[in-house]
Amino acid sequence: MPEVKHLAIGNRLENAIRAGKYSDKLPPVRQLSADFGVALQTMTKALKPLVEKGLLDPGPGGTRIVSSMPRRAGIGVVTVFMLGEQPLTDPARDPLLTTLRSEAERDGVTLVLMWVDGDEIFTKPDFWKAGQTDGYIFLYSSFYSVLTRHLNVNGIPFVVANWLPEGANVHWIDFDWRRQLFDLVKQLLDHDYHHIAYLPLIRWQMGAPFHEDLWRDICDYYGIHNYSPGLDCFGPDPLAVMERWRVNEPVFPEVIIPNNTLLLPLMKRLDETNVPTKIVGHHDMIDAHPRMLFWRNNDYTTLGREVWKVFRQLCDGTAGVPHPHLITDTRPVAW
């Protein structure tokens, strides 16, 4: 019961901070304990998750609210950060990157593209504090939540261009993927594909429950077989999940829906196994291939403009408290 109590108190305090009840600093812990009617130990435990999320920064002068901390002076350079073995497409053709580049140039800012193979860099906090950039834009599922505090406490603005779970304390921008995936499955069924699998690459387990729940809802709604019925199907090694299908499923999927980061590895593996399975992919993300079913669902130019707008607002101090920025595209999925 005490564990539940300190989490509830932490949630109440976070809501009060986001509602603007406190300005630059929190009152002393003893005063907060009295205000919330709890023991000093409970209040101290309630503060810890908010510090870990990067919302608070304790120090000798008191506990500061990070969103009110000043940003450091700019040098005119912003880093676009991505993970993986290679770019999904030629950076000169990627519509998201080209839009970000043109938006930055219009504001007199140089974009530096940083492509990292492996996640060891997230364990090096001194790198993220080094100050060689005015901020970071994280693309294609490259953000790791441990960075939130490092960047916020050091006054380094950043935005994330993909979905993050509730309570991430981050400005993130993405499309309404839930609605789009429902629409896509309906389109596939209308085109007489009935054995449909969803195979996203999920680098961080914080995203797995969202994708598991989403796909279960879709399978239940349309009455199709669920090839991915558990959390273990949504992780950093989706090709291993696909191999389990080859062994355990009586009918291998006719169509696989991956996320963008998995397109090329999935294509290679399916070509090696010589199965006729189709892959659904965005037409801007991969070249023509007999295995591909292309769909035009997302306007990456709009996404790029929104990402840059939110980043500039963050730098100007006008973005408000961290929250999702969801792009709702009412156009139907098109082949």
CATH superfamily of the domain spanning 177-295: Response regulator (3.40.50.2300)
State both tokens at 74.
Answer: 């700019």
- Give the percent of the chain with pLDDT over 70: 90
CA torsion sign, 23 to 26 to 31 to 36? positive
Asked whether the predicted pLDDT for residue 176 surpasses 80, the reply is: yes
Fold of 77-175+301-327: Rossmann fold (3.40.50)
Task: State pTM to two decimals.
Answer: 0.69
**Cβ(284)–Cβ(300) under 8 Å?**
yes
**Cβ(111)–Cβ(80) under 8 Å?**
yes
Q: How far is CA 124 from CA 119, 134, 147, 150, 217, in A?
A: 10, 18, 10, 10, 39
pLDDT band at 329 (very low <50, low <70, confident <90, very high): low
Asked whether the predicted pLDDT for residue 56 surpasses 70, the reply is: yes
Asked whether the predicted pLDDT for residue 215 surpasses 90, the reply is: yes
Question: What DSSP string runs through 210-221?
Answer: HHHHHHHHHHHH
Which tens digit of pLDDT belongs to each residue from 236-288? 899 999 999 999 999 999 999 998 778 888 989 999 988 999 999 876 556 67
pLDDT band at 1 (very low <50, low <70, confident <90, very high): very low
Query: According to the 3-state scheme, what is the secondary structure of the chain?
Result: CHHHHHHHHHHHHHHHHHCCCCCCECCCHHHHHHHHCCCHHHHHHHHHHHHHCCCEEEECCEEEEHHHCCCCCCCCEEEEEEECCCCCCCCCCCHHHHHHHHHHHHCCCEEEEEEECCCHHHHCHHHHCCCCCCCEEEECCCCCCCHHHHHHHCCCCEEEECCCCCCCCCCEEEECHHHHHHHHHHHHHHCCCCCEEEECCCCCHHHHHHHHHHHHHHHHHHCCCCCCCCHHHCCCCHHHHHHHHHHHCCCCCCEEEECHHHHHHHHHHHHHHCCCCEEEEECCCCCCCCCEEEEECCCHHHHHHHHHHHHHHHHHCCCCCCCEEEECCCCCCEC
Whole-number pLDDT of residue 122: 86
- Lowest mean pLDDT across 2-16, 32-46, 98-112, 311-325: 2-16
Q: Which residue has the higher pLDDT, 108 or 153?
A: 108
- Lowest mean pLDDT across 112-126, 140-154, 295-309: 140-154
pLDDT band at 2 (very low <50, low <70, confident <90, very high): very low
- Report the pLDDT averaged over residues 197-206: 86
Q: Where are the domains of the chain?
A: 2-68, 77-175+301-327, 177-295
Tell me if domain 2-68 and domain 77-175+301-327 are identical in fold.
no
Which tens digit of pLDDT belongs to each residue from 60-77? 778 887 754 445 557 899
* CA 289 to the chain's CA centroid: 28
Give backbone dihedrals phi and psi of 282, rounded to 5 degrees, phi first.
-75, 140
Top-level class of domain 2-68: mainly alpha
Which tens digit of pLDDT belongs to each residue from 19-47? 668 767 888 999 999 999 999 999 999 99
